[in-house]
Amino acid sequence: MTETLPSEITLSARGSCPFDPPPEVTEQAKARPITPIRFPDGHIGQLITNYTLARAVLADPRFSARQELRHIPIPNRLADGEMGPADPGMFIRMDPPQHTRYRRLLTGQFTVRHMNLLVPRIERITAEHLDAMAEQGPPADLVKAFALPIPSLVICELLGVPYSDREVFQQHTSTMLRLDSTSQEVYGAIGKVNEYLDGLVEAKKASPAEDLLSGLITGGELNQEELVTIGFLLLVAGHETTANMLGLGSFALLSNPAQLAALRADPTLVDGAVEELLRYLSIIQIGIQRTALEDVDLDGHHFKKGDGVLISVPAANRDPERFEHPEQLNITRPNTGHLAFGHGVHQCLGQQLARIEMRVGYRALFERFPDLRLAIPADEVPMRSDMAIYGVHRLPVMWEEVRQ
Amino acid sequence: MKVTVDRERCCSSGMCALTAPKLFDQDDEDGRVVLLIAEPPEELHAAARKAESFCPCQVITVSDD
Ligand code: HEM
């Protein structure tokens, strides 16, 4: 009997190449497009590793993002029956029309045009951090000097959160994202950040400024709890994700000298490089979760009402039916639509911001330090296999030359 | 070629404005799609198709006629 029971798949344990998806996931992906898996709470759901099926599920309103329907795919978190509906404002865990209402209050702030206006400011911030890194001299931890502070500062400025308070949210975000944190620790951390934001929103109500949170306050459509929750979502989603792409992406480029040389020779390749790094690295390593609201037949696959569905972004983005030689990093690959930002109505709200931060960031980093290299052997770089968002914990780098 | 968009279901990802800026824009209010050219010339056909396939909410329809 136990032999036929679907097993629990380790979704984060990596193999020999730190950039490749967990071998257990790749094994399933090779065998079949969809695999029954046992969630830590005992629920039997489905793991999707096929690109086409992943896209179809994410675009299908019969698959819900509602929080109270989820089975947490992370061991060590008490799950079933514990989660209520998402707090007002936590629209990433809601379905339309509730989701739509919140999202539309924000989308005007994250348009391509709006984000392009931020380029000069992001270039400034980036230059200042690279100046400081050059000033201090080698070696440096690229995460501390570059990858984490730039997106943190940008999202703080955008929201109107004082950057000097970053310790509060950076430390608690870490606790939230650690896969070995207990539910209690996670809720504790969320509570702390919310407490901080509650005070901040109160202060802004008294004296609104020119920032996103103030704009939402004066818009008058959201109550205090919703404002705090939306601030929380944007703050957490807005700095750890891009930070990890900057850190891990730099590591990937340094580990693929031919690709890096091509980018250095022609910096206009950076837009394509960003898309390819997003695909190749797929830092949302556990995947995206949905629940079937009814019995569904899709592409010949059957889902039962209530099935927890886990879409493996790393596997879908390496699907050989969609991407030629998916295991290769190829910055000149024609963009064929990766799923790194998800798909469907929840597709990443901050994607245009993230793109700009990465384009500016990689370009400036490798222009400034033309002989940048790892300061420790690649296999000693501490990887974030223990975090919900993949990346590097630290990236010690060296250089000789600095360009102005 | 004819391009149509369904603004009602648009989720403002910006993928169309990013992929085919000559054909699509986003409105400043809530970022929803604004169609700039409904019958694009030949040289924009590939971009139109790409935008159609990238749209996360499938609100862009391209038809040949
Ligand atoms: C490279 C960086 C990033 C990656 C890989 C990423 C990835 C994702 C993914 C996969 C989703 C979909 C989740 C789902 O369908 O359940 C998502 C949603 C979201 N992201 Fe990002 N993200 C990044 C950067 C950002 C930034 C910079 C912000 C904030 C400014 C942000 C804010 C959000 C929000 C608010 C949602 C929820 C959207 C909704 O439910 O409608 N993200 N992101």
Average pLDDT rounded to a whole number, residues B34-60: 97
Q: End-to-end CA distance of chain B, in Å?
A: 6
Average pLDDT rounded to a whole number, residues A76-96: 83
Q: Taking 50 as the threshold, does the pLDDT of residue A131 lie above it?
A: yes
Range 34-63 of B in CB contact (< 8 A) with A: 53-54, 56-58
Q: What pLDDT does A80 receive?
A: 46
Average pLDDT rounded to a whole number, residues A234-258: 96
Query: Are A402 and A365 within 8 A, CB to CB?
Result: no
Q: Taking 90 as the threshold, does the pLDDT of residue B54 lie above it?
A: yes
**Ligand 1 atom 15, closest CA:** A346
Environment class of A59 (CB within 10 Å of its CB; exposed 0-12, middle 13-18, buried 19+): middle
A23-398: CATH class = mainly alpha
Query: Are A314 and A25 within 8 A, CB to CB?
Result: yes
Q: Report the percent of chain A where pLDDT is more than 90.
A: 86
Q: Taking 80 as the threshold, does the pLDDT of residue A7 lie above it?
A: no
Q: Taking 90 as the threshold, does the pLDDT of residue A192 lie above it?
A: yes
Q: What pLDDT does A81 receive?
A: 52
Taking CB atoms and a 6 Å cutoff, what residues make up the pocket around ligand 1? A 65, 91-92, 103, 155, 233-234, 237-238, 241-242, 245, 283-284, 288, 340-342, 346, 348-350, 353-354
Q: Rounded to a whole number, what is the distance in Å from the CA of A181 to chain B's nearest CA?
A: 32
Q: What pLDDT does A318 receive?
A: 98
CB atoms under 10 Å from CB of A138, counted, come to: 16
Q: What is the residue-averaged pLDDT of chain A?
A: 94
Q: Report the percent of chain A where pLDDT is more than 70.
A: 97
Q: Taking 70 as the threshold, does the pLDDT of residue A213 lie above it?
A: yes
**DSSP summary character for residue A8:** P
Average pLDDT rounded to a whole number, residues A106-111: 96
Q: Taking 60 as the threshold, does the pLDDT of residue A1 lie above it?
A: no
Q: Rounded to a whole number, what is the distance in Å from the CA of A29 to chain B's nearest CA?
A: 23
Query: Which residue of B11, B24, B58 to mutate against A (max A Cβ within 10 Å)?
Result: B11
SS3 assignment, position A47: strand
Average pLDDT rounded to a whole number, residues A87-100: 97
* CA distances (Å), origin B49, targets A19, A235, A335, A384, B18: 31, 35, 13, 38, 13
Whether A112 and B13 lie within 8 Å, measured CB to CB? no
Q: Taking 50 as the threshold, does the pLDDT of residue A351 lie above it?
A: yes
- Convert the pLDDT of each residue in A352-377 to its tens digit: 999 999 999 999 999 999 999 999 99
The backbone torsions φ and ψ at residue A209, rounded to the nearest 5 degrees and listed phi first, read: -125, -170
**Ligand 1 atom 27, closest CA:** A238
Q: Taking 70 as the threshold, does the pLDDT of residue A78 lie above it?
A: no
- Best CA proximity match to A383, nearest among A272, A255, A260, A235: A255
Instruction: Give the domain ranges of chain A.
Output: 23-398
Q: What pLDDT does A390 receive?
A: 97
- What residue ranges in A338-377 does DSSP mark as E strands? 373-374
Weakest-pLDDT range from A11-15, A101-105, A213-217, A325-329:
A11-15
Residue with tokens 């898309």: A275
Query: Are A373 and A162 within 8 A, CB to CB?
Result: no
Confidence of residue A171 (pLDDT cuts 50, 70, 90): confident
Q: What pLDDT does A140 receive?
A: 98
Sheet holding A396-398, edge to edge: A140-141, A396-398, A373-374
Query: Which residues in chain A touch residue B15, judged by CB atoms under 8 angstroms apart?
Result: 347
Weakest-pLDDT range from A73-82, A206-215, A296-305:
A73-82
Range 83-112 of A in CB contact (< 8 A) with B: 100, 103-105, 107-112
The backbone torsions φ and ψ at residue A285, rounded to the nearest 5 degrees and listed phi first, read: -70, -30
Mutational pocket test of ligand 1: of A351, A355, A358, A359, the residue with most ligand atoms within 8 Å of the beta carbon? A351
- Token pair, residue A336, equals 């064929």
- Convert the pLDDT of each residue in A11-61 to its tens digit: 888 999 999 999 999 999 999 999 999 998 889 999 999 999 999 999 999
Weakest-pLDDT range from A150-154, A179-183, A390-394:
A179-183
Q: What pLDDT does A73 receive?
A: 85
Find the A51 Cα to ligand 1 centroid distance in Å: 19
Q: Taking 60 as the threshold, does the pLDDT of residue A4 lie above it?
A: no
Mutational pocket test of ligand 1: of A153, A211, A348, the residue with most ligand atoms within 8 Å of the beta carbon? A348
Q: Say which residues have a Cβ less than 8 Å from residue A344's Cβ, sequence separation at least 6.
A: A58, A59, A60, B11, B56, B57
Find the A233 Cα to ligand 1 centroid distance in Å: 9
Q: Taking 90 as the threshold, does the pLDDT of residue A167 lie above it?
A: no
Q: Taking 80 as the threshold, does the pLDDT of residue A75 lie above it?
A: no
CB atoms under 10 Å from CB of B19, counted, come to: 21
- Best CA proximity match to A112, nearest among B54, B9, B1: B54
Query: Are A44 and A37 within 8 A, CB to CB?
Result: yes
Q: Give the distance, in angstroms, between the CA of residue B8 and the centroid of all CA atoms in the same chain.
A: 14
Task: Give bridge partners of residue B34 from the DSSP assignment.
Answer: B25
Q: Taking 70 as the threshold, does the pLDDT of residue B8 lie above it?
A: yes
Q: What pLDDT does A43 receive?
A: 92
- Token pair, residue A295, equals 């019995």
Average pLDDT rounded to a whole number, residues A170-196: 90
Confidence of residue A70 (pLDDT cuts 50, 70, 90): very high
B2-63: CATH class = alpha beta
What residue spans of chain B are helical by DSSP H?
Answer: 15-19, 45-54
Angle (deg, nearest 10), helices A351-368 and A119-136: 40
Q: Please tell me if residue A152 touches chain B, with a CB cutoff of 8 Å.
A: no
Q: What pLDDT does A82 receive?
A: 67
Q: What pLDDT does A2 receive?
A: 37
Q: What pLDDT does A5 receive?
A: 58
Average pLDDT rounded to a whole number, residues A293-297: 98
